[in-house]
Copies of this chain bind each other. A is one copy, B any other.
Amino acid sequence: MEIQDQVDYVSGKTRVFGIVGHPIEQVRSPEMFTAEFRRRGQDAILVPLHVLPEDFDAALPQLLRVQNLGGLVFTIPYKVRACAFAETVGEQGRVVGAINALARGGNGRWRADIFDGLGCVEAFRRRDIPFAAKRVMLLGAGGAGSAIAVAIGYERPASLRIFDVDAERAAALGNKVAYANPGLDVQTGAPTTEDVDILLNASPVGMLGDARLPIEIATLAREMVVFDAIVKPERTPLLTLAEQCGCTTVYGREMMRGQISRMVDFFLA
């Protein structure tokens, strides 16, 4: 009777975490974070919280007052607005100007940082592919691209070239990364695969049914490492071409996994 009567994954003692976004149905964080908490023996669960843009500023302070709320993850469109609710923001979050995790500190103060970029670095680390001394080409300077550029900046690459269809956005990001890493060779401008060791796509080109490549190329040198931040589909047109050319490929899902691991470290710190 006990067994049918109750589930074993939530109780009055469970620490609750949430992902706040609009829309919310497409997020993958609930099942993935909760699995990571379980793997670490934590009695914790992460649930979706669909908060409307007009409610966000009033809802956040109240959600943070729920005593057994351990932390919040933020997704579109809240990564910038969420900064207002953090008492301390980590270095990467400050440079990017956005956060995607807010954790309850031991003293009840809320700590925040952004982990998209750290997730990308973590994915490469797990593959034993260092960014240090590599020539990196990044496509896309939006939310994910910004975080990735900032995180890679701290990894001391030989150079980092940033392209975005919005040249101003690419330039602004380039300035941020250069400012945070004096002496680092940061360039912005047209995309290229010449003299590039690692090619990263953080643009939306290739997402879902989009058959386009984020850069006009017919072939890639097999020594290159090619990464795509896109999760759906897992094998984007860019990754398909890269594998045909014999390149090493790193998938968006690996970045997601790396990010979740780093964020759970942050939540449990």
Interface of A with B (CB < 8 Å)? 4-14, 16, 19, 24-32, 34-35, 38-39, 45-52, 55, 58-59, 62-63, 65-68, 257
Contacts and interface: CB of A to CB of B under 8 A. Distances in A.
Given A45-B47, A62-B62, A34 B52 contact: no
Contacts of A26: 12
Contact of A8 (B31, B59, B257): B31
A40 B160 CA distance: 54
A48 B68 contact: yes
A50 B30 contact: no
25 contacts: A5-B31, A5-B35, A5-B257, A6-B31, A6-B34, A6-B35, A7-B38, A10-B30, A10-B45, A10-B47, A11-B28, A11-B31, A12-B24, A12-B25, A12-B27, A12-B28, A12-B48, A45-B45, A51-B65, A55-B62, A55-B65, A59-B62, A59-B65, A62-B62, A62-B63
A39 B47 CA distance: 20
